[in-house]
Amino acid sequence: MMHESGSISINTENIFPIIKKWLYSEKDIFVRELVSNSSDAISKLKKLSAIGEAELDEENKWQIQVVVNKKEKTMQIIDNGIGMTYEEVGKYINQIAFSGAKDFLERYKDKTDEGQIIGHFGLGFYSSFMVSDKVQIDTLSHKIGEKAVRWVSSGGIDFEMSESDKTSRGTTVTLFLAEDSLEFLEEHKTRDILEKYFSFLPYEVYLEAVEEEKTEKSDDKENKDKELKPINDTNPLWLKNPKDCTDEEYKEFYKKVFHDYNDPLFWIHLNMDYPFNLKGILYFPKLKHEFETIEGQIKLYYNQVFVADNIKEVIPEFLMLLKGALDCPDLPLNVSRSFLQNDGYVNKISSHINKKVADKLTSIFENDRENYNKYWDDINPFVKYGCIRESKFYDRVKDVVIYKTTNGDYTTCKEYLEKNKEKHENKVFYVSDERQQAQYIKIFKDNDMEAVLLSTMIDGHFISFLESKETDVKFLRIDSDISECLKEKEENVDEASNKELQEGFEKLFKEVLNNDKLKLKVESLKTTTIPGMILLEEHSRRMQEMSARFGGMDMSYMFGNEETLVLNKNNPLIKKITDLKDKQERKEEVKLICEHIYDLAMMSHKQLTADAMTKFIERSNLLLSKLAEV
């Protein structure tokens, strides 16, 4: 009868503290490691069978069982995979320096696919001691004539090996859970962990909670008698050929995986075998509001085993705004399967994903412009962020970046400049707040002009980015300049009279507003309904906004005040002031009107201060009272 005791062959006795505190960052990782090892064991036997080096029963069904037993305080992970001989247990379990998967690949490197074997049945197995006082392995090799083996260790470096009473092929790992880890005996918790990591494992995974001790001899019978359902989908949608997938299947998969009950806008199905293996689906979600753009989730899988969310080394940072599932067996994972090792494949994979997303956007723009326009309100923060973060992405999509206009249609920058080249060459006028800048928008519309809407949080950065890339184009907010198209062409202009009018209004408004630094211009605008408007030079405003954004305080005094009051001499009220401003008996009325014109112009430009708003309301009441007396 076989029996052996000894010490695990390791270089340091501190291996278990290292595993607990450093190697694995999350306690539930032990479930992932042990079930992954079971999956590897099945994959190995499946490969051997495929090349004729192992015989299987015709009724063989690949499966992994996870059994939690509250009474015994145990968790079992049971597979019907390749199993191990006495010598293999000694090698793979007792000598951590060797990896079961590595040795398997070396033996069969010319007959099998390395990408299908992911396990490190060595350190991965030892994660079980994170939660256990004792661990027991019962295993029976697929090789005919081999005896079952039992291996037991209580968490130190000592172990015992003996013959096991296991009669079915495969391996059972029994964890005798420590008092601080009994939470893993709760069925709902273990189910959550299994669903997190193994929702798409290629072999069916069953979870069973029992109150009585689970015996090896009853495993198969109990599984047949009970209507247990696997917790996983063994054939996820990303493995199918895109041509065989329906829109409804894509939507159903999205809702199931991301618990989002809204349909996605569209998706990209990645299906690549060369030069690396990459499959997956990226979804563009419909956003409820702008701030939701930070809630993306890209799930990364390794041979259908979940690794982590949003691994930045693989997924370009801007793609984190999307939702999706990517499965890449070529990723060079380290032993904990949580972090990537440096490898050229990683950059290639990231670049490929970048290109595929850009290609998809371009394809929709060119072949389905109507829907592309509809998508734009949801996808534009993502596209703009991608352009800023990834220069290659910008180069690929710069011609399909579009803008919604004040007329309600959509245009590219090139289209906008071409359409308006005779009105304002190489200038793009934009609106950042439709309500606040409504007056300026109306002036544009009244003169058959349009501006583009740039009102999201990222647009300030995006404008600066575009100007750095397209140096011939200048973006101007709609309240920063008056296009020549908005001005009435004056014939036989009397420069002396214009100068006198300008100086007269400057003196009047500076005196009325008690502001010696007030900048004022008198223009002849085409519209007659607006008496005055405020302009703020673009550069000055950007500097003020930047200082407020990064400094957390108003530092506009550092950059000067470039606000200019523009009076419209074609407006009846301004003409009336021209007639009244020198009449002493009407001085108080002129003062009220000037103050009101200034506040109305300022209100269309930005919010009034609390003090200014109070005075505006009081003045409005006073003017209404005077009007009622007439």
Alpha-carbon span 286 to 510, nearest angstrom: 51
Q: How far is CA 12 from the centre of its chain?
A: 42
User: Which residues have a Cβ under 8 Å from the Cβ of 273 and sit 6 or more positions away?
Assistant: none
Instruction: Please give the pLDDT value at position 337.
Output: 46
How does pLDDT run across 345-402, given as a tens digit for each residue? 777 888 888 999 999 999 999 999 999 999 999 899 889 999 999 999 999 999 999 9
Least confident of 106-110, 273-277, 595-599: 106-110
Confidence class for position 220, pLDDT limits 50, 70, 90: low
Rounded to an integer, the average pLDDT of 203-228 is 68
Instruction: Please give the pLDDT value at position 332.
Output: 66
* Whether the model pTM is above 0.85: no
The CATH number, out of the four listed (3.90.1150.180, 3.90.1170.50, 3.30.56.10, 3.30.230.80), of the domain defined by the range 237-351: 3.30.230.80
CATH 1.20.120.790 fits 497-529+562-629, yes or no: yes
Instruction: Please give the pLDDT value at position 117.
Output: 41
The CATH number, out of the four listed (3.10.450.50, 3.30.565.10, 2.40.160.20, 3.40.800.20), of the domain defined by the range 3-225: 3.30.565.10
User: Which residues have a Cβ under 8 Å from the Cβ of 411 and sit 6 or more positions away?
Assistant: 402, 403, 405, 419, 452
Alpha-carbon span 224 to 135, nearest angstrom: 27
Alpha-carbon span 291 to 267, nearest angstrom: 21
Instruction: Please give the pLDDT value at position 11.
Output: 44
Q: How far is CA 310 from CA 18, 33, 279, 304, 412, in A?
A: 26, 20, 16, 16, 31
What is the rounded end-to-end Cα distance, in angstroms, of the chain? 119
Most confident of 10-14, 21-25, 254-258, 576-580: 254-258
For 194, the token pair is 């299994």
CATH architecture of structural domain 401-485: 3-Layer(aba) Sandwich (3.40)
Sign of CA dihedral 273, 276, 278, 282: negative
SS3 call for 4 = strand
156 conformational bin, left if phi > 0, alpha if psi -120 to 50, beta if neither: beta
Is the preceding omega at residue 329 within 30 degrees of 0, hence cis?
Answer: no
For 322, the token pair is 């999307």
pLDDT above 60 (res 290): no
Least confident of 33-42, 61-70, 322-331: 322-331
Could you tell me the residue ranges of all domains in the chain? 3-225, 237-351, 401-485, 497-529+562-629
Least confident of 49-63, 338-352, 548-562: 548-562
Residues 119 and 303 sit within 8 Å (Cβ to Cβ): no
